[in-house]
Amino acid sequence: MTDPPVIAERKGQVALARLNRPETRNALAPEVMERLAALVEDWDADTEVRCIVIAGSDDYFAAGADIRMATENASAGEFFEQAARFWTRMATCRTPLVAAVSGYALGGGCELAVLCDMVVASETAELGQPEILLGIIPGGGATQRITRVVGRPRAMELILTGRRIDAQEALRLGLVNQLAPKRKWLSSALELAQVVASRPPIAVGLAKRAVLAAEDTGLEAGLAEERRLYELAMSTEERVEGMQAFLEQRRPDFKGR
């Protein structure tokens, strides 16, 4: 039996997806994209899953699009369409996503990390968008998402030069939330995910939508969207429980209603 392209694990209310194609440095081949997107969709539909962590191995998160697949004429068209669907499927996940990055996160690997809501990186991580060196441009959202995170001049430099950056620089640029020592990158990411998973799930989902709205809308429309989602949050049992527990000085018991 061949190894699964992505290994799924559950750790309480946190789900972990580990890319598992060492022979191509976890390049995003069709079977990797399909399995990862399907797992994320299943977990997103499961109310027991409160946060999802996406990880690779110690030495590579993902080396980008599968260059071999992208150059094989017979399958290239289908590959590009599948890749486009993959990015949309990942971006529509309502459950918080944490990327746990160790080693190389290049091209689509870097785009996958940046698509996630938070990124925990090992001190060994190296990120970059090397597509320009192959005569192409990023196609998984980097020109938009990286620009929103780091600003235009820095995004231009990364994308036009294809330069790789180390974990410290990624942290400085805001592409990464926190750095972890070499052997602690995954446990640190899982810890962050556990904290998010312990928060009231409806409020977490609404908050994720509200923050993402900042990327899609002007300030006025974004504030209107926040107001709408805030009113929704105010109407939940979670809100009653959270506030009551505070007043009664006890731990809240959030039921996701």
Please give the residue ranges that form the binding site for ligand COA (CB under 6 A).
24-25, 27, 60, 63-68, 104, 106-107, 130-131, 134
Q: Is 56 a catalytic residue?
A: no
For ligand COA, give the closer residue by CB, 104 or 254: 104
Q: Is 27 a catalytic residue?
A: no
Options 131, 155, 193, 205, the catalytic residue: 131
Three-state secondary-structure class, residue 2: coil
- Sequence-separated contacts (24+) of 231-239 with Cβ below 8 Å: 232/206, 233/202, 233/203, 233/206, 233/207, 236/200, 236/202, 236/203, 238/200, 238/201, 238/202, 238/203, 239/200, 239/203
Options 99, 111, 170, 210, the catalytic residue: 111
- Tell me the β-bridge partners of 121: 101, 179
Q: Is 65 a catalytic residue?
A: yes
**d(C-alpha 192, C-alpha 194), whole Å:** 5
- Tell me the β-bridge partners of 99: 54, 119
For ligand COA, give the closer residue by CB, 40 or 106: 106
For ligand COA, give the closer residue by CB, 12 or 162: 162
The residues, any chain, with a CB within 8 Å of residue 250's CB and separated by 6 or more, are none
CB of 84 to ligand COA, least distance (A): 14
CB of 111 to ligand COA, least distance (A): 10
CB of 147 to ligand COA, least distance (A): 18
Could you give the residue numbers annotated as active site? 65, 108, 111, 131
